[in-house]
Amino acid sequence: MENLRQVLLDRLTKKGADSASLPGILRSLAKILSADPEIDPASANEKLCYLGWQEVKVDYHLLQLALACFESEHGVNPAAFAENDRRRQALRLREATTTPVAPGEA
């Protein structure tokens, strides 16, 4: 497990992360991946930039490596990710079923 984490840290450093900012980047990646384990790299990079990590650019392989690392270290069951996904889908469905009101119609 430690070897997997080291590979992840090395890969993040090669992608532009400063070694001092690695703990924060790892926390952000964990939050991003727990919200959507199948996120595409472009969306993940957009979220990282929004969170203040403009210097690092992730790719598909780095995301898969991070997901494997977090699952092995924290014993996260993939079913927990699925449960979060069901809640997100329900929220999206609720948002989609509300009809927008044009200004002045209310």
For residues 53 and 25, the answer to whether their CB atoms sit within 8 Å is yes
Residue-level pLDDT at 78: 44
Is the pLDDT at 29 greater than 60? The verdict is yes
Whether 76 is in a domain gets the answer: yes
Residue-level pLDDT at 93: 53
Whether 102 is in a domain gets the answer: no
Domain that holds residue 28: 2-97
Say whether pTM exceeds 0.75.
Answer: no
Whether 60 is in a domain gets the answer: yes
Mean of all residue pLDDT scores within the chain:
78
Residue-level pLDDT at 65: 92
Query: What's the Cα-to-Cα distance from 40 to each of 4, 11, 18, 73, rounded to whole Å?
Result: 21, 18, 23, 22
User: Structurally, how many domains does the chain consist of?
Assistant: 1
Whether 53 is in a domain gets the answer: yes
Residue 83, token pair as written in the block: 């449960």
Is the pLDDT at 91 greater than 60? The verdict is no
Is the pLDDT at 39 greater than 80? The verdict is yes
Whether 55 is in a domain gets the answer: yes
Is the pLDDT at 34 greater than 90? The verdict is no
